[in-house]
Amino acid sequence: MHELGITQNIVAIVCEQAKGASVTRVTLEIGKLSAIMPDAIRFCFDICCQDTILEGATLQIIETEGRGKCRRCGHEINLSQPFGQCDRCHSFELDIIQGQELQIKEMEVEELCA
Binding residues for Zn(2+): 70, 73, 86, 89
Helix or strand holding residue 12 (H, E)? helix 2-18
In Å, how far are 32, 51, 92, 101 from 63, measured between CA atoms?
A: 6, 28, 25, 9
CA atoms within 13 A on the CB side of 70: 16
| Binding-site residue set | 2, 70, 73, 86, 89
